[in-house]
Structure 1
Amino acid sequence: MRHDKYRYWWLTGCWPLLLIGATVWAYFATGGNPLTSLIPIIFLFVGTPLIDALIGEDNDSVADDVAEALEDDPWYRWIVYALIPQHYVTFIVAIWMVGALDMPLWADLVLVAGVATVNGLAIVLGHELGHKPKDSLDWIMAKISVGSNGYGHFYIEHNRGHHVKVSTPEDCSSARMGETVFEFALRDIPGALIGGVTKEAERLKRQGHGFWTWRNDILQCWAISVVLAAILVAWLGWAVLPFIAMHHVLSWYSLTQSNYVAHYGLLRQKRPNGKYEPCQPRHSWNANHIFSNLMLIDLQRHSDHHANPMRSYPALRNFDDIPRLPWGYLGAMALSNIPPLWFKVMNPKLVEWAEGDVTKANLHPPRRAHLIAKYGRKGRKGNEAAAEPSDAEPVLGPAE
């Protein structure tokens, strides 16, 4: 049987543990230099894009016969299981450092911000496992994974909301053209929370239960987060509680940045019957950068993931005619925090994707008129674009 050429390279997913280990070592090796608190965030937003540029991309696709074998190979699932505990370790070590070591406040804040961004990967692991059948070990491990940063509602809204509404104006987790990542966060973070809680309450109601029950998948995850926070407060004191909260919120923002770059401005068109076209690979921004794909267990092959949500990470394919990011997700996330530069690079790419008709993009309503005036509404042949999609409510299809 032919094997995935990255079979053992996926073990590089243990990078968060190595990163926090290097940070602790550097702190003590330098006699407590607070500048070492910058290591995680520098590695993420400077080091990773540079390594991506040096190593390059892999545009190959997994052959169908190999993909079937990879789906059946438990090796890949156990790798994900093994990566989950490191996020508890990195979180606990970071809180211990700010609670027990004599670092200046700015160093505490920078360290927690960097580790929180790293631990956004815990949600990525939960994302991978949360697409598997409920009541399986994968589902249990998904809950444990997102319990490390208080994002227990994630895979409820992600599976039943985002995957149904992706790349439409109705989706809180699909960014619009002209919308900054900060504006997007104000939609995505509360929208995912409200959507997840609402959908779980509806599920429990159909089964004859109230929201406050041990059967509630969200409450199970939140219980893990609360117990862990209580243990850390009992150990290190109440002074660490704000840093715990900061860690969790910035972990959520880490995911929000990923959501932002994954679907920025892409729009599924409505058919004459008012229904949206099915999600296709062209409705997600893809990246084939080798290093960051290994770091993020192929999250960046997002196009195939949305076209085939049940496909496991090593079997995700590349496609020729899909929108591509010029960087891996971490490089894109870094640039998204500088909106003028992000718009300068990505808006022309989005117009090209829309074949010159900017009204075919998912436009941010407050900037709609400005974007149409700036980029026009003519297709490749120079003809006036077709009428804009109607405002009829979409038919979203069955939830997972």
Structure 2
Amino acid sequence: MSDLRFLVAWLLPLLAIYTVLTMPDYTALATLAVWWSIALLDALLPGGHTSPAPIQPAAGAAYFRTVLRLYVPLHLALIAAGAYAALRADWPAVLGIAFSVGFITGSQGITFAHELGHSKSKIDRFCAWLLMTSVCYGHFMVEHYRGHHPRAATHDDPATARFGESLYRFLPRSLWGSLVSGWRLEAQRIGQLHSSWARSPLLWSTAASLMLIVAPALYLSAPAAMKIIAYLVAQSIIAFLLLEVVNYVEHYGLQRKTVGEGTAARREPFGMMHAWNADHVVSNSMLANLQRHSDHHMHAWKPYPTLAALPGPRLPTGYAGCILLAMLPPLWFSLMHPRLQALRRSGASSASCL
């Protein structure tokens, strides 16, 4: 049963497809109900604070890879179903549909793209690019692996939230900084390999995202095109904003120390004290163990079912609840700052970004 738990990840896109097609006027409310239910289950489910132990690397590898790959057609079907519903809906419902679709494409689509992008399989990485292209955030595929992972829990990383930084101050810095860094890193790669932009997957992904947005204007009447374009843009914005809120939560206030001085100075290696973790079984099952975040950063190539719950910094609840908490900075600070102070008192290597 611990292996089958990851199949629940398919329930959310299937449920979203059903709601946008059958009750488009109420799909946003249904999505909020699902979101808050997951947060409550994480907080209140007896025994739900601990996920099953990691499996052996070779056990069921094909099955676990298939769970991720088969999400991809569900993701694309959800976006298509949302477009079909938006075309026939009133404007308030269009925005509600975009919220519902963006919630899934952001919470699960980007999470699964993240996992597939860490694979050594070309098929998996293509699927990851496809998922990120569908939410107009292709630069994630460069910045996350070549930027965020080397720099996480440092001031050089735009996706690491600093001590005392509210979500609303973090978002502009992370959105812009990640975009600029992704393109800069891709330019460096092209220069180092003596390649060309014509062979850049980032350029092709960006062009495909733009075509996805522009295409309705070429084939539909103006009123219909406006609805589809608004839907596609809004669901993308919801999706990547959700990603950035999770980024805010994952490393808030944690900082790797600098070892040495002057030109010999270097960062300490990423350790289990440099990411916030949660082991709640409901959200971990839906998010491919993403909340076992310290182990993921320390062993980036480890498949998601093999990640361990390391005894690093602990979030007050799972990501579903923490996203809600982060939206209220005074409440977030009141819960997180005592945890950071306790880490400092214990002499842990993670230090708040004071």
User: 2:51 & 2:86 partners in 1: Cα distance?
Assistant: 42
Q: 1:361 to 1:57 in 2, by over 3 A?
A: same
User: 1:311 & 1:359 partners in 2: Cα distance?
Assistant: 23
1:301 Cα offset (Å): 0.7
Equivalent of 2:6 in 3, 10, 20: 10
Counterpart residue number, 2:70 = 82
Q: Which runs of 5+ in 1 are unaligned?
A: 369-400
User: 1:308 & 1:118 partners in 2: Cα distance?
Assistant: 27
User: 2:289 & 2:204 partners in 1: Cα distance?
Assistant: 28
Is 1:333 aligned to 2:329, yes or no?
no
Three-state SS of the structure 2 residue aligned to 1:114 is: helix
1:171 Cα offset (Å): 0.6
Q: Which runs of 5+ in 2 are unaligned?
A: none
Mapped contact 1:122–1:148 kept (Cα < 8 A): no
Three-state SS of the structure 2 residue aligned to 1:243 is: helix
Length-normalised TM-score, structure 2? 0.90
Q: Whose helix proportion is higher, 1 or 2?
A: 2
User: 2:268 & 2:349 partners in 1: Cα distance?
Assistant: 16
Mapped contact 2:343–2:350 kept (Cα < 8 A): no
Counterpart residue number, 2:333 = 343
The share of aligned pairs that are identical, in percent, is: 31
Equivalent of 1:177 in 142, 163, 176: 163
Length-normalised TM-score, structure 1? 0.80
Letter in 2 for 1:329: Y
Map Cα deviations across residues 111-158 of structure 1 (whole Å, 9 max, x no partner): 32232122112111111111123x721211111121211111112111
Counterpart residue number, 2:142 = 156
Counterparts of 1:181-220 in structure 2 under 5 Å?
181-211=167-197, 213=198, 215-220=199-204
Letter in 1 for 2:328: I
Counterparts of 1:221-236 in structure 2 under 5 Å?
221-233=205-217, 234-235=219-220, 236=224
1:18 Cα offset (Å): 2.2
Is 1:119 aligned to 2:108, yes or no?
no
Map Cα deviations across residues 185-224 of structure 1 (whole Å, 9 max, x no partner): 111111111111111111112222343x1x1011232243
Letter in 1 for 2:100: G
CA root-mean-square deviation: 2.3
User: 1:330 & 1:252 partners in 2: Cα distance?
Assistant: 15
Is 1:298 aligned to 2:286, yes or no?
no
Counterpart residue number, 1:166 = 152
1:231 Cα offset (Å): 4.4
Tell me the number of residue pairs that the alignment of Structure 1 and Structure 2 aligns: 344
Map Cα deviations across residues 284-343 of structure 1 (whole Å, 9 max, x no partner): 1111111111111111111100111000100000123x1111211111011111111111
1:60 Cα offset (Å): 5.1
Three-state SS of the structure 2 residue aligned to 1:254 is: helix
Q: 1:359 to 1:132 in 2, by over 3 A?
A: closer
User: 2:132 & 2:301 partners in 1: Cα distance?
Assistant: 19
Q: Which has the higher contact order (CA 8 A, sep 6+)?
A: 2
Mapped contact 2:274–2:350 kept (Cα < 8 A): no
Q: Which has the larger radius of gyration?
A: 1
Mapped contact 1:201–1:210 kept (Cα < 8 A): no
Three-state SS of the structure 2 residue aligned to 1:354 is: helix
